[in-house]
C-alpha cells in the first residue's frame, strides 16, 4: 500500500508515463532522514520488452533527421532543463543526500552543459574525407541503433545526461535504467522531454533494480549497444551478458585513486585540494582520491594541517548553503564504509579523525558518518587498495618518486589521480607513468568535456567525452569512391 504523501513516479515508454502492469513498486528513501518519500515501478523483463520495442520503432525516423536538427533538439532540452535548475538541484540533493551547493554547481548546472556541449559538437562536425590519387574515402558516421544506458546513484542526472546527449545526438534511440536508489531526477528529465515534445520513443526509461530490469535490458536482442557506469563487479556481469551478441560496450567502473603530494607543493592549496578530492559528495565520486601519498619530509606538517582542515568541514543538513558533507546514500552503504574503519584497525591503522557515525540535529534516522582520516595501514592493505566509496581516506608516506609510483600503481583500479608539486614538468612526467585514465596536476576534477574520460585495468573499457563519446555512439562507415 503506497502512502498518499509519497510521490509516485512511472516508467516513460513511447512518450507515455506508465506503471509496470504488475503493480510492484520500490521505495525511494531520503538518505538524510531515512524516510521514504517516493516510489518507483519495480520493472521486469516484460517492461523492458515494451521499452525496447518503442525505441526500435522510433529509431529509423530519428536517425534519419539531419545532425543539425538533432543538435537543435539537444539545445531545446538544455533550455528546458535550465529553467528547472533549482528544482533539479533540490530534488537531487533530497534523493542523494548531497549538499545543495554541490547539487547546484555540479548536478543541475553540468547536466545542462552536457546537452549544450554535445549540441555544439554536433554542429561542428565536418565531413571527413581521405583522398587517394584515384579515389576519395568518405567517412559516414551512422547511428548504432538502440542503446541501453545504465547509471549509478552518485551523480544521477549528470551521468544520465552525459550518455543521453551524445547517444541521441548521433541518431540512436535509447532505453535508460537509472539506479533504483536515485530515480527522481531521471523522472524529471523524462518530464522535460515530454514537455518539449521530443519525438516519442527516442528516449525511454524503465525504473527498477539491476536483476529485474538492468540485466534483461543488457541481454535484450533488440539492444545494439550498452553504455554502463557503475561498480566493477556489476560491470563484469554486464560485459559477460553483452558479449554473446557482440553488443558495442562501454564500461565506466570503480576506482581507488591516489593523490600524490610532493614536498615542493604549495602546501595550502594541496591541503584543501586533496581534502576536496577525498571528501566531495561524501567521498562517493569514482574519481575521489582516497589514498593520499605524501613525501616523507613534509608528512608531519601535511598530516597536521590536513586533519585540521577535515575537522572544520561542515557536516549536516543537505539543504543548508554552508554544508560541505551530506549523508551517505543508504544504510547498507554506511555499514559497508564503517566496516572498513573496523578493518583499518585490524590492519594496524590509527584513526586521526572521524571513524564513526554522526547524527546532525533533526536527522537522526539518516545515514551519517564523520569524515575520516586514517594512517598506519600498509600501502598494500585492503583499506588502501579496495574501493570504499565513502568519506574515508588513508595517509601514506613515501621517500622517492619510484616509491610513490609503485604505491600509486599497486591497485586493480586505474581511473584517476592527482599530483601536487611546484615543478610542473615533474608533475606531467610523473603523471604519464601512472596506470590511470586521467591525472590532474595541482587540481582535481577540473573537467574539460572535450577531453577523454575513462579508466584502465578494472576501472573500465573505452572512453567517454567529446569525440570519444561521438565515436562510441556511432558506427564509422567508409565509402570509397573511385574516379575514372
Q: How far apart are CA 203 and CA 190, in angstroms?
A: 8
Q: Which residues lie below 8 Å from residue 356, measured CB to CB, with a gap of 6+?
A: 338, 341, 369, 370
Concerning whether 383 is annotated as a catalytic residue, the answer is: no
480 is catalytic: no
133 burial via Cβ count (<10 Å: 0-12, 13-18, 19+):
exposed
Those residues whose C-beta lies under 8 Å from the C-beta of residue 482, and which sit 6 or more positions away, are 134, 135
Site for ligand NAD in 440-479 (CB under 6 A): 455, 460
Q: Which residue has the cell 531521471?
A: 186
| 229 touches ligand NAD by CB under 6 A | yes
Q: Which is nearer to ligand NAD, 182 or 397 (CB)?
A: 182
Count of residues touching ligand NAD (by CB under 6 A): 29
| 234 forms part of the interface with ligand NAD (CB under 6 A) | yes
- Regarding 418 and contact with ligand NAD (CB under 6 A), the answer is no
Alpha carbon distance 38, 187 (integer Å): 12
Bridge-based pairing of strands 248-252 and 257-261 is: unpaired
How far is the C-alpha of 79 from the C-alpha of 475, rounded, in Å? 29
Given the residues 92, 252, 324, 464, the one annotated as active site: 252
Nearer to ligand NAD, 51 or 265 (CB): 51
Q: Minimum Å distance from CB 295 to ligand NAD?
A: 27
For ligand NAD, the binding residues in 6-65 under the rule CB under 6 A are: none
Rounded alpha-carbon distances, angstroms, from residue 362 to 30, 229, 358, 366, 480? 13, 34, 12, 9, 68
Terminal CA-to-CA distance of the chain, rounded, Å? 74
153 binds ligand NAD (CB under 6 A): yes
Residue sitting closest to ligand NAD (CB) = 210
> Does residue 456 contact residue 463 with C-beta atoms inside 8 Å?
no
The minimum distance between CB 330 and ligand NAD, in angstroms, equals: 9
> Which grid coordinates belong to 220?
535484450
Binding mask 194-213 for ligand NAD (x = CB under 6 A): ---------------xx---
DSSP designation for 104: I
Binding ligand NAD (rule: CB under 6 A), the pick from 100, 144, 164, 218 is: 218
Footprint (CB under 6 A) of ligand NAD, residues 378-407: 387, 389
Cell of 416: 584517476
Among 56, 85, 123, 237, binds ligand NAD (CB under 6 A): 237
Q: State which residue, 99 or 360, has the beta carbon closest to ligand NAD.
A: 99
Instruction: Choose between 199 and 222: whose C-beta lies nearer to ligand NAD.
Output: 222
Give catalytic residue positions: 252, 286
Binding site for ligand NAD (CB under 6 A): 150-154, 177, 179-180, 209-210, 214-215, 218, 229-231, 234, 237-238, 252-255, 286, 387, 389, 415, 455, 460
Amino acid at each position: 500500500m503506497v502512502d498518499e504523501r509519497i510521490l509516485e513516479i512511472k516508467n516513460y515508454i513511447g512518450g507515455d508515463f506508465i506503471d509496470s502492469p504488475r503493480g510492484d513498486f520500490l521505495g525511494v528513501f531520503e538518505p538524510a532522514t531515512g524516510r521514504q518519500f517516493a516510489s518507483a515501478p519495480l520493472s521486469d523483463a516484460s517492461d523492458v520488452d515494451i521499452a525496447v520495442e518503442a525505441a526500435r520503432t522510433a529509431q529509423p525516423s530519428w536517425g534519419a533527421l539531419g545532425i543539425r536538427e538533432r543538435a537543435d533538439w539537444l539545445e531545446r532540452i538544455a533550455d528546458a532543463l535550465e529553467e528547472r535548475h533549482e528544482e533539479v538541484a533540490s530534488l537531487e540533493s533530497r534523493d542523494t543526500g548531497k549538499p545543495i551547493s554541490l547539487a547546484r554547481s555540479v548536478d543541475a548546472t553540468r547536466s545542462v552543459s552536457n546537452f549544450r556541449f554535445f549540441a555544439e559538437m554536433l554542429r561542428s562536425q565536418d565531413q571527413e574525407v581521405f583522398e587517394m590519387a584515384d579515389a576519395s574515402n568518405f567517412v559516414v558516421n551512422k547511428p548504432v541503433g538502440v542503446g541501453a544506458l545504465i547509471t549509478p546513484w552518485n551523480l544521477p542526472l549528470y551521468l544520465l545526461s552525459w550518455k543521453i546527449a551524445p547517444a541521441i545526438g548521433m541518431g540512436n534511440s535509447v532505453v535508460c535504467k537509472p539506479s533504483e536508489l536515485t530515480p527522481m531526477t531521471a523522472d524529471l528529465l523524462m518530464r522535460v522531454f515530454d514537455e518539449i515534445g521530443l519525438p516519442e520513443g527516442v528516449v525511454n526509461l524503465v525504473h527498477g533494480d539491476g536483476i529485474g530490469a538492468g540485466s534483461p535490458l543488457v541481454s535484450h536482442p533488440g539492444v545494439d549497444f550498452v553504455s554502463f557506469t557503475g561498480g566493477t563487479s556489476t560491470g563484469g556481469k554486464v560485459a559477460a551478458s553483452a558479449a554473446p551478441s557482440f553488443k558495442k560496450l562501454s564500461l565506466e567502473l570503480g576506482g581507488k585513486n591516489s593523490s600524490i603530494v610532493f614536498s615542493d607543493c604549495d602546501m595550502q592549496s594541496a591541503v584543501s585540494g586533496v581534502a576536496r578530492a577525498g571528501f566531495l559528495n561524501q567521498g562517493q565520486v569514482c574519481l575521489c582520491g582516497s589514498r593520499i601519498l605524501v613525501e616523507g619530509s613534509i608528512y608531519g606538517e601535511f598530516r597536521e594541517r590536513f586533519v585540521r582542515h577535515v575537522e572544520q568541514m561542515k557536516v549536516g543538513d543537505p539543504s543548508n548553503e554552508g554544508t560541505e558533507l551530506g549523508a551517505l546514500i543508504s544504510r547498507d552503504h554506511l555499514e559497508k564504509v564503517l566496516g572498513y574503519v573496523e578493518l583499518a584497525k585490524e590492519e594496524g591503522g590509527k584513526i586521526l579523525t572521524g571513524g564513526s557515525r554522526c547524527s546532525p540535529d533533526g536527522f537522526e534516522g539518516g545515514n551519517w558518518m564523520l569524515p575520516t582520516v586514517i594512517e598506519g595501514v600498509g600501502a598494500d592493505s585492503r583499506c588502501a587498495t579496495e574501493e570504499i566509496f565513502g568519506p574515508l581516506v588513508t595517509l601514506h608516506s613515501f621517500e622517492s618518486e619510484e616509491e610513490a609510483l609503485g604505491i600509486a600503481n599497486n591497485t586493480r583500479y586505474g581511473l584517476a589521480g592527482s599530483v601536487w608539486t611546484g615543478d610542473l614538468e615533474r608533475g606531467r612526467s610523473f603523471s604519464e607513468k601512472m596506470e590511470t585514465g586521467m591525472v590532474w596536476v595541482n587540481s582535481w576534477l577540473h573537467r574539460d568535456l572535450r577531453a577523454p574520460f575513462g579508466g584502465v585495468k578494472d576501472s573500465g573499457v573505452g572512453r567517454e567525452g567529446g569525440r570519444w563519446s561521438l565515436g562510441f555512439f556511432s558506427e564509422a562507415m567508409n565509402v570509397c569512391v573511385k574516379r575514372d
